[in-house]
């Protein structure tokens, strides 16, 4: 018998006499060996996260009905949570560390000020005229904008426009809740200033250099307008195609390490915008098929413009505009732009900053 074979089947709980098990239970003790393979499976972790697609058309209709059924005063935040069935619907998890929700604000409504320990971002999906006030900075909300609400900053939402406004919330709530550090405080009203972040950091590679009043902001930029992210993606795509040499006559692009992918970063440090979750803007060139490697973090994809065929192991579906999906970690994902003539644009969220900080990040190719 080989050395390792001796450990192939470990003893079960049922193999122990009931009297012994009762003795253990009475003393708050449990044997490790019946559970060892469960917590340390061979080769690949057990993931509860299931590949899940949430079509926007379905969410939208139900969210508008929530607007009729539940006044904002009875909801505080009028949100339908995009719950991964693998985690149990009531646990409000898209993945181990990510929470997703679609939030509706109607004209004239205010979602009152509070602050909390989990970090949030908003990805604006639909509508004009809403704003969010974060740490006193007024951030207009336009489609595709990414707006940060980092841990501890006061925030509230308001709406001066005519039509419903809907956005996607992405929070690290499941992780913060798991660590027993999740709580909120009700707030005083905030004094308002216009947002300066995106004006101060208007060009990549150039950052303000205060001499008299060193910046003490942990989060110097709160609003990342879609117009800027889209322009940066188109520009990067041009730069990459010039470097590669034009692929004339290519009807289908197989991208290999040439993805048109940008990370949302803190412009002063170059680090991810938040500590736990990572956020990215992705462009798929016309007809491009992008095979994302199997990496340890779970991922979320939200279609900003265009349509994308998604394949995750045996599951496939199409993301149309404003659709959202998630994929478990350690799993390759293939994205294909359905259009041969126009680029597709996606917002991506993942758990990579968390995995890197924990030292468990892996890219298995």
**Binding region for ligand 1HN (CB under 6 A):** 77, 79, 101, 103, 111, 116, 120, 155, 169, 171, 173
Query: Minimum distance between the CB of residue 83 and ligand 1HN, rounded to whole angstroms?
Result: 12
Query: Minimum distance between the CB of residue 299 and ligand 1HN, rounded to whole angstroms?
Result: 20
Query: Minimum distance between the CB of residue 203 and ligand 1HN, rounded to whole angstroms?
Result: 31
Nearer to ligand 1HN, 222 or 260 (CB): 222
Residues 321, 198, 192, 172, CA torsion sign: positive
Region class of 226: left (phi > 0), else alpha (psi between -120 and 50), else beta: alpha
Query: Minimum distance between the CB of residue 168 and ligand 1HN, rounded to whole angstroms?
Result: 10
Query: Minimum distance between the CB of residue 60 and ligand 1HN, rounded to whole angstroms?
Result: 17
Q: Are 338 and 344 in contact (CB under 8 A)?
A: yes
Nearer to ligand 1HN, 101 or 135 (CB): 101
Two tokens at 291? 């095979």
CB-based burial of residue 7 (10 Å sphere; 0-12 exposed, 13-18 middle, 19+ buried)?
exposed
Query: Minimum distance between the CB of residue 66 and ligand 1HN, rounded to whole angstroms?
Result: 14
Nearer to ligand 1HN, 72 or 283 (CB): 72
Nearer to ligand 1HN, 120 or 335 (CB): 120
Nearer to ligand 1HN, 142 or 339 (CB): 142
Nearer to ligand 1HN, 70 or 235 (CB): 70
Query: Minimum distance between the CB of residue 132 and ligand 1HN, rounded to whole angstroms?
Result: 8
The residues, ordered by sequence, that sit 6+ positions from 12 with a Cβ below 8 Å of its Cβ are: 34
* Residue 210 burial (CB count, 10 A): 9
Task: For residue 361, give the DSSP letter.
Answer: -
Place of tokens 């349509």: 307
236, 343, 203, 273 alpha-carbon torsion, rounded to 10°: -100
Nearer to ligand 1HN, 171 or 287 (CB): 171
**Which of 246, 215, 116, 217 minimizes the C-alpha distance to 172?**
116
**DSSP readout, 39-74?**
HS-SSS-------EEE-HHHHHHHHHHHHHHS-GGG
């Amino acid at each position: 018998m080989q050395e390792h074979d001796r450990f192939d089947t470990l003893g079960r709980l049922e193999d122990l006499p009931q009297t012994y098990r009762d003795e253990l239970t009475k003393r708050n003790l449990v044997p490790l060996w019946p559970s060892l393979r469960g917590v340390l499976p061979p080769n690949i972790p057990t993931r509860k996260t299931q590949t899940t697609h949430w079509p926007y058309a379905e969410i939208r209709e139900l969210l508008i009905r929530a607007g009729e059924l539940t006044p904002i005063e009875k909801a505080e935040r009028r949100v339908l949570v995009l719950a991964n069935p693998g985690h149990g619907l009531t646990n409000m998890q898209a993945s181990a560390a990510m929470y997703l929700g679609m939030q509706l604000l109607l004209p004239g409504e205010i979602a009152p000020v509070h602050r909390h320990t989990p970090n949030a971002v908003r990805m604006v999906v639909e509508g004009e005229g809403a704003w969010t006030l974060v740490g006193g900075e007024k951030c207009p909300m336009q489609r595709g904008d990414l707006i940060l609400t980092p841990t501890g900053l006061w925030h509230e939402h308001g709406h001066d426009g005519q039509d419903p406004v809907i956005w996607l919330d992405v929070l690290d709530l499941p992780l913060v809740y798991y660590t027993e550090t999740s709580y909120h405080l009700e707030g005083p009203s905030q004094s308002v200033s216009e947002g300066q972040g995106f004006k101060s950091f208007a060009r990549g590679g150039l950052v303000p250099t205060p001499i008299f009043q060193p910046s003490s902001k942990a989060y110097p930029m709160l609003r990342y307008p879609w117009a800027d992210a889209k322009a940066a993606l188109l520009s990067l795509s041009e730069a990459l195609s010039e470097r590669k040499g034009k692929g004339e006559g290519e009807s289908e692009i197989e991208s290999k390490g040439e993805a048109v992918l940008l990370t949302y970063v803190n412009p002063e440090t170059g680090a991810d915008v938040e500590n736990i979750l990572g956020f990215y803007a992705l462009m798929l060139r016309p007809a491009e098929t992008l095979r994302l490697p199997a990496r340890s973090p779970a991922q979320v994809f939200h279609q900003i413009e265009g349509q994308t065929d998604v394949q995750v192991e045996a599951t496939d579906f199409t993301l149309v505009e404003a659709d959202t999906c998630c994929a478990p970690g350690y799993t390759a994902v293939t994205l294909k732009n359905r259009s041969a003539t126009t680029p597709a644009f996606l917002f991506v969220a993942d758990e990579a900053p968390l995995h890197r900080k924990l030292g468990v990040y892996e890219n298995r190719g």
